[in-house]
Amino acid sequence: MKRLLLQGVVASALAVGATGLWAQDHQQDRPQDQRSAENRTYMDSNHRRHEWNSDEDNAWNRYRDEHHIRQSEFGRLNRRQQNAYWKWRGEHHDERQHD
């Protein structure tokens, strides 16, 4: 009886540990959108990392207005839509200083 109980405890611990490792690995597999409360970074199709800040918020709002995009949260866009924004952003780099 004690052996059966011990086996159950060990099996449960292994299952919980494996699930935690999977969740951690799964999150690392999503480089497109790495979110935290203070700092958000995004990867474009050329694997360039972009830090999101207030200047990017302003540019994103300008892009949304120009392209009639209803979605207000950049992180909710699909990869194709995000890459279209980064392409536009690269073409409007001179406006970054004027945001």
Query: Would you state the pLDDT for residue 45?
Result: 86
Share of the chain above pLDDT 90, in %: 24
Considering the domain architecture, whether residues 17 and 37 belong to the same structural domain is answered as no
Quote the strand ranges of the chain, DSSP E.
Answer: 33-34, 40-43, 49-52
Instruction: For the chain, list residues with pLDDT below 50.
Output: 19, 21-28, 30-37, 98-99
Regarding whether 38 and 26 lie in a shared domain, the answer is no
Start-to-end CA distance of the chain, whole Å, equals 70
Are 22 and 38 part of one and the same domain?
no
| DSSP SS3 for 60 | helix
Model confidence, pTM: 0.55
User: Total domain count for the chain?
Assistant: 2
User: Quick one: 42 exposed, middle or buried, by C-beta within 10 A (0-12, 13-18, 19+)?
Assistant: buried
- Domain identity same for 21 and 38: no
pLDDT of residue 99: 45
Q: Provide the pLDDT for residue 17.
A: 57
Range of the domain at 26: 1-30
